[in-house]
Amino acid sequence: MCLKLGEIPVVVISSADGAAEVMKFHDLEFASRPINYSVEAIFYGGNNVLFGPYGDFWRQMRRLCNLELLSPKRVRSFRAVREQEVSTLIREISEKANSGVVVDFSSSLAEVSNNVMARAAIGGRCEDQSLFHSLLGTAVKLLSGFNLVDLFPSMPFIGRITGHQRRLDECRKNLDLMAEKSCRNTEKNGAESPVDYADLTEVLLRIQREGGLQFPLSDDNIKAVINVTNSLLCFPLLQKP
């Protein structure tokens, strides 16, 4: 079934046989995701493994994510971070219980998840983790929310009228400043952690320094990967904290 949502043509596959044909025989035609203004703003033109067009660069980024960022070994390396945050949570709950204060357990668990996420992404160099969490939450809401410009891309002025473009640009600027600060602090202080215990920023900067890639990593590539990784982790917390 073919639809047209605004100016965007849409093909709806409503049967299992049709879906199988698309995935098996036309997978390359459907491998790339469309890039709208929101994605381009938050994720540096979609230049990352999630929204990048299918090709050699995308395969390189996927390989780096699988081997360096999302491998079981890398996940295990953050065990100490998880244990520290859980210990802090238990201590805070105990203190509140002793003083008769009501504990919002859902909020506390969300805070622990956010802290682990921030420390895994940018280590202990983030001076204001609450700002980091807030920016990620804003980015996810802007990306997943309705934007009329996505349906009428030839009329970008709509985003300025509704204020959506202003909110996107502000969020992008603040996320970029925080990611840039983290990268520069890591470079200034040198390799603070062993390779097996480095945070995502340290890992990506090490890969950038070592080179040897078909497509060298730029600073924007690194910041886009960090934003994508943490936005994916942040989305479930916003849906059901």
Side chain identity at residue 106, one-letter code: S
Which has more pLDDT, 128 or 227? 227
The whole-number average pLDDT for the span 212-227 is: 84
Supply the pLDDT for residue 193. 55
pLDDT for position 100: 85
Q: Which region among 8-22, 26-40, 77-91 has the lowest average model confidence (pLDDT)?
A: 26-40
Place of tokens 């970029």: 176
pLDDT at 87 (0 to 100): 92
**Residue 201: half-sphere exposure toward Cβ, Cα within 13 Å:** 28
Query: Going by DSSP bridges, is the β-strand pair 8-11/2-5 parallel, antiparallel, or unpaired?
Result: antiparallel
Average pLDDT, the chain: 80
DSSP string for 152-175: -TT-THHHHHHTHHHHHHHHHHHH
Structure tokens at 168: 């996107």
User: For 192, which DSSP code?
Assistant: -
Residue 195 pLDDT > 60 = no
Whether the per-residue pLDDT at 67 is higher than 50: the answer is yes
At residue 124, the pLDDT reads: 58
pLDDT score of 125: 47
Distance CA 185, CA 183 (A): 6
Least trusted range by pLDDT, from 69-78, 96-105, 126-135: 126-135
Determine the 3-state secondary structure of 4 from DSSP: strand
pTM of the predicted model over 0.75: no
pLDDT at 241: 47
- Of 116, 117, 147, 127, nearest in space to 41 by CA: 147
Question: What's the CATH class of domain 38-239?
Answer: mainly alpha
DSSP H helices in the chain: 16-25, 37-42, 56-64, 72-77, 79-98, 105-122, 129-144, 148-151, 157-162, 164-189, 200-210, 219-239
175 compared with 46, residue with greater pLDDT: 175
More confident residue, 90 or 233: 90
pLDDT digits (tens, 9 = 90+) for 104-159: 888 788 778 777 777 777 665 455 666 777 787 788 888 888 888 888 888 888 88
- Say which residue, 77 or 171, is predicted with more confidence: 171
Average pLDDT on 65-87 reads 82
Percent of the chain clearing pLDDT 90 (strictly above): 2
Per the CB < 8 A criterion, the answer to whether 234 and 140 are in contact is yes
Q: Which helix (H) or strand (E) holds 11?
A: strand 8-11
135 by DSSP, 3-state: which?
Answer: helix
Q: With cut-offs at 50, 70 and 90, classify the pLDDT of residue 201.
A: confident
Nearest to 167 by CA among 148, 130, 139: 139
